[in-house]
Structure 1
Amino acid sequence: MGKVAKARTGTRIRYWADRQIFTKGAAFGFDDLIARARQTAFLVPGLGIEIDDRRGEEHARESFRFDGGISEFVDFLAPDAAITDTWRMQGTGAYKETVPVLQENGHMVSTEVERECEVDLALRWGQGYETVFRSFVNIIATPKGGTHQNGFEAGLLKFVRAEVEKNARKLKAGNDKVEKEDALAGLTAVLTVRLPEPQFEGQTKEVLGTPAVRAIVANTVAKQFAERFTSAKRDDKAQSALVLEKVVAEMKSRISARAHKETQRRKNALENSSLPAKLVDCRSKETEGSELFIVEGDSALGTAKLARDSEYQALLPIRGKILNVQKASVSDMLSNTECASIIQVIGAGSGRSFEVDQARYGKVIMMSDADVDGAHIRTLLLTLFFRYMRPMVEAGRIFAAVPPLHRVVIINPGSKPNETVYTYSEAELQGVLKQLDRSKRRYQDPIQRYKGLGEMDADQLAETTMDRRHRTLRRVNIGDAENAARVFELLMGNDVAPRKEFITAGEGLDRERIDV
């Protein structure tokens, strides 16, 4: 097509989608391209990748470059606050395998060749219990694992078990044995291996099948962990101790959950004396159709007792604002009276041991006052459910009650009874009042503003908030669990600076929605 200057080098590839394969309306997914470009930039340190989307009127452009490689990848993936630094572990190992080799005479002959496998691993432990693990072979993602992931898990478990046994008296571990899920709890890790001609299971290359890689990765992990745990550096000693304490705490939590699993069954308060005395249970023993209202304060509890349908509606009062579990440890959460009561009443465990099928109620409804403190309590409850009972949220079984803010009594002439209208926002109230003024209808003044649920009588609370025929509930959904986790960490976590910056910038905040 023409001459190119000597200094201008590189390759450009242009292609068009085959319309015999891609149906009409098929288009590039910009978010998918962004995710793949970001992943590749993490896996190849120093590689710069730019994506320029010129399809619309406003062009979208993203660029990625990470000199830290998979260490930065781990920091990006981690869903919780760290208890260790991001540790980097590398090693190599040689192995032999028999493969067909093309000879000079054109024949394929099975020949034993020597290979080398390079292992690169970055990991860190966090305060949570979720495990985030990504594995790759020659930059190819292996979402279903394979021999390299098996080697990592085997090497880690063997080493951690030996360390816990060695320090059993100090850690108060007893004779119980650490399991894989105990060691992996709260771990975020990225594992990459590089080797020639890897063997994959299936055409999709989602599982690495080269047998020798397992032992090489396991040996590398064991050796690197031994160096880290025997290091004389103060930070390494402190972080190693925190890891062992976390693993032992997870082990004890798992054993305790297993011991109590059989006793957490659907029973009423008379049959099960272990349930909190403040629980006002329902008569129905069926999970489907039953509802647990978490009520703010004893004053609202008294009204709610009279307003509820005792056949299928249970009440659990909480005192004020519960513990912020995003900042607290598992032991602090379990020792908190309010958090422990909620977990105990729902009866399905917590954390990794949570089983949504064992939940004693079909719906859990947060019923707090319609003010700033009520919104804060609702946020704290959501944080508890999100961190320790997430399957309930994912199943759409967590709801927020919507109590009214105002009560307008419309005065009718003569003997006709007065009408009552409830409004749920200041804008709705003003709209109702303007409509009444235009139609020249009278209403009682001043307008009643509910500051709390306790200000309603039983009939008003039932009609507006608890009766299935008239109430409004907001279902709590998780559209994107990872993004939701980052938002919870921003709003409720230990790191103050990003939260201050978020509040100062006012991004996404609607001042009209703030009750002041």
Structure 2
Amino acid sequence: LDDGGIRVVDNGRGIPVDVVPSEGKPAVEVVLTVLHAGGKFGGGGYSVSGGLHGVGVSVVNALSSRLHVEVKRDGFVWSMDFVDGVPTGPLRQGEATEDTGTTVTFWASENTFETTDYSFETLRSRFQQMAFLNKGLKLVLTDERAGVTDVGDEITGEAGESAEGVDLTPRTGHREVTYKYDNGLRDYVAHLNSAKRSEPVHPEIITLEAEDTDRQLSAEIALQWTGAFSESVHSYANTISTTEGGTHEEGFRSALTSLLNKYARDKGFLKERDDNLTGEDIREGLTAVISVKLGEPQFEGQTKTKLGNTEARTFVQTQLYSHLGDWLDAHPGEAKDIFRKGQQAAAARLAARKAREATRRKSLLESASMPGKLKDCSTRDPRRSEIFLVEGDSAGGSAVRGRDPETQAILPLRGKILNVEKARLDRALGNQEIQALITAFGTGIGEEFDITKLRYHKIVL
């Protein structure tokens, strides 16, 4: 809102307004003032909830200088006001209505928070995630504050173009985005891959949906391999981003690795003498989104970044193994392309290991002399040392003449060495210019990287 408040509007059933016998207060007042009174408790309130303790909205109320709630339910509009979490009066019954839903407007307490300036981009990114994860759900975010800027369209950490179902509508005086995805995770994967410079290995985005009502457990997965050299796997539990993974992601990785290796051996792609592909080989270029919903989620820690439910592992593993196995059997050409992609990754992994070992041996041998073109500085104190990376021998000559030889080193390099985004590690490590950089810096690479061995504390491009 233009005055710094936040208004949340939904068209759901509306928070109950009848009196809770044990409290002697309307349910909406209890929910807003009593900890652990959220709708996730007691069963039947929600089929799925991301909350653990039922304290969300009551904490918001307690940390707000004022809050106004309006409920459309049971044929009337009901309203109530709070100041610093305390009701200013009883629940009021208003005009008749056939609509349902809840509107909560609150102003965060400036006595509690150092700043109450909300990030539009943080909210926008989360709204888009929620729209992807809840197929067909329409979410609208409006910013009525002054100082409107252009609205982007990308999930945090993933560059992307506008995906189908996104309405970006700038208006005079405020900005607004509307998200609605009828294909859910299929649209999510398409959106993520639209940002990549690599073509898909197979045109179809593979999807599966499975549910176990007895265990209050469901899973939705979408995946597609691309020609990229890195994996992009996103997992969620009850629409909460599990950035540290967890049991659902473990089940996904396990099923994927065992299934692809078994399929390759059954079809003769892998011979008896061949080693299995590793999980990293198989997931190279993979874009996947895993979303599980559980009646009783168990997260490791308060940040909810890692799922701990053991039943999620076996459920995802079983469902993916079965569904993806059927898809591979029905698409033998695409299955072969996927395996070939993993096989190329395995070959590159082995070549990279050899190149890494060769680079390490070379670094040890050249530790005294350094790369031939390097004009090193005389001091051996890395805190005083700086290295200038210049393009070409002519620039290197000019830099050498103008440098302080005690503290400034010069390393001439050929221009446009290698686009490492489009090259595997083995090719990068085989490049002489990159080898010179590794040797000059002294830190090693990969698992052997040690920042304490850095020879220059300033690197100037």
Q: Which residue of 1 aligns with 2:197?
A: 81
Could you give the per-residue CA deviations for residues 176-219 of structure 1, whole angstroms, max 9, x where no partner exists? 66554454454432111133333334454433222122122122
Aligned partners of 2:144, 2:208: CA distance in 1, in Å?
A: 41
Q: Give the drift of 1:312.
A: 3.5
2:322 to 205, 223, 226: 223
Q: Which residue of 2 aligns with 1:68?
A: 183
Which amino acid is the alignment partner of residue 243 of structure 1? G
Aligned 8 A contact 1:125 1:243 in 2: no
Q: Which residue of 2 aligns with 1:380?
A: none
Q: Give the drift of 1:296.
A: 1.9
Q: Gapped runs of 5+ residues in structure 2?
A: 1-93, 148-172
Identity of aligned residues (%): 30
Counterparts of 1:332-343 in structure 2, within 5 Å, are 332-343=427-438
Q: Which residue of 1 aligns with 2:337?
A: 238
Aligned partners of 2:129, 2:419: CA distance in 1, in Å?
A: 33
Aligned partners of 2:270, 2:116: CA distance in 1, in Å?
A: 61
Q: Give the drift of 1:298.
A: 1.8
Aligned partners of 1:166, 1:255: CA distance in 2, in Å?
A: 30
Which amino acid is the alignment partner of residue 65 of structure 1? K
TM-score when normalising by structure 2: 0.61
Aligned 8 A contact 1:257 1:353 in 2: no
Distance change in 2, residues 1:255/1:190 (3 Å): farther
Residue 318 (structure 1) aligned with residue 413 (structure 2): yes
Aligned 8 A contact 2:378 2:405 in 1: yes
Counterparts of 1:397-476 in structure 2, within 5 Å, are none
Aligned partners of 1:206, 1:278: CA distance in 2, in Å?
A: 48
Q: Which residue of 1 aligns with 2:374?
A: 279
2:249 to 149, 162, 170: 149
Distance change in 2, residues 1:323/1:203 (3 Å): closer
Counterparts of 1:151-230 in structure 2, within 5 Å, are 151-160=251-260, 179-230=278-329
Distance change in 2, residues 1:202/1:276 (3 Å): closer
Aligned 8 A contact 2:277 2:342 in 1: no
Counterparts of 1:104-115 in structure 2, within 5 Å, are 114-115=214-215
Q: Which residue of 2 aligns with 1:98?
A: none
Aligned 8 A contact 1:265 1:358 in 2: no
Q: Which residue of 1 aligns with 2:385?
A: 290
Q: What secondary structure is seen at the aligned counterpart in 1 of 2:420?
A: coil
Aligned 8 A contact 1:147 1:209 in 2: yes
Q: Which residue of 2 aligns with 1:3?
A: 96
Which amino acid is the alignment partner of residue 56 of structure 1? A
Distance change in 2, residues 1:320/1:36 (3 Å): closer
Taking only aligned residues, the RMSD between alpha carbons, in angstroms, comes to 3.8
2:208 to 81, 90, 93: 90
1:37 to 98, 102, 127: 127
Q: Which residue of 2 aligns with 1:346?
A: 441
Distance change in 2, residues 1:37/1:155 (3 Å): same
Distance change in 2, residues 1:233/1:181 (3 Å): closer
Aligned partners of 1:169, 1:280: CA distance in 2, in Å?
A: 51
Q: What secondary structure is seen at the aligned counterpart in 1 of 2:253?
A: helix
Q: Give the drift of 1:51.
A: 1.0
Aligned 8 A contact 1:122 1:189 in 2: yes
Residue 119 (structure 1) aligned with residue 219 (structure 2): yes
What is the aligned residue count? 340
Q: What secondary structure is seen at the aligned counterpart in 1 of 2:183?
A: coil
Q: Which residue of 2 aligns with 1:482?
A: none
Aligned 8 A contact 2:236 2:291 in 1: yes
Distance change in 2, residues 1:298/1:25 (3 Å): closer
Counterparts of 1:339-418 in structure 2, within 5 Å, are 339-349=434-444, 356-366=451-461
Q: Gapped runs of 5+ residues in structure 1?
A: 96-113, 367-516
Distance change in 2, residues 1:196/1:182 (3 Å): same
Aligned 8 A contact 2:355 2:426 in 1: no
Residue 300 (structure 1) aligned with residue 417 (structure 2): no
Aligned partners of 2:449, 2:366: CA distance in 1, in Å?
A: 18
Which amino acid is the alignment partner of residue 288 of structure 2? A
Which amino acid is the alignment partner of residue 289 of structure 1? R
Which amino acid is the alignment partner of residue 299 of structure 1? S
TM-score when normalising by structure 1: 0.55
Instruction: Decide which structure has greater helix share.
Output: 1
Q: Give the drift of 1:50.
A: 0.9
Distance change in 2, residues 1:353/1:236 (3 Å): farther
2:144 to 40, 51, 54: 54
Could you give the per-residue CA deviations for residues 17-43 of structure 1, whole angstroms, max 9, x where no partner exists? 463884364243322221211111111
Aligned partners of 1:323, 1:40: CA distance in 2, in Å?
A: 38
Distance change in 2, residues 1:17/1:311 (3 Å): same
Q: Give the drift of 1:92.
A: 3.4
Which moved further from structure 2: 249-258 or 150-159?
249-258
Aligned partners of 1:256, 1:61: CA distance in 2, in Å?
A: 51
Could you give the per-residue CA deviations for residues 246-303 of structure 1, whole angstroms, max 9, x where no partner exists? 2442354256536755774696453xxxx54333333444433322222222222233
Q: What secondary structure is seen at the aligned counterpart in 1 of 2:95?
A: coil
Aligned partners of 2:336, 2:183: CA distance in 1, in Å?
A: 24
Aligned partners of 1:325, 1:216: CA distance in 2, in Å?
A: 38
Distance change in 2, residues 1:125/1:340 (3 Å): farther
Distance change in 2, residues 1:284/1:31 (3 Å): same
Aligned 8 A contact 2:283 2:342 in 1: no
Residue 249 (structure 1) aligned with residue 367 (structure 2): no
Which moved further from structure 2: 161-170 or 67-76?
161-170
Aligned partners of 1:127, 1:349: CA distance in 2, in Å?
A: 28
Could you give the per-residue CA deviations for residues 291-331 of structure 1, whole angstroms, max 9, x where no partner exists? 22222222222333333333343322223433333444545
Which moved further from structure 2: 206-215 or 320-329?
320-329
Distance change in 2, residues 1:261/1:67 (3 Å): farther
1:15 to 86, 91, 105: 105
Distance change in 2, residues 1:266/1:348 (3 Å): farther
Distance change in 2, residues 1:166/1:46 (3 Å): same
1:136 to 236, 239, 252: 236
Could you give the per-residue CA deviations for residues 231-256 of structure 1, whole angstroms, max 9, x where no partner exists? 54534432431233124423542565
Aligned partners of 1:233, 1:175: CA distance in 2, in Å?
A: 21
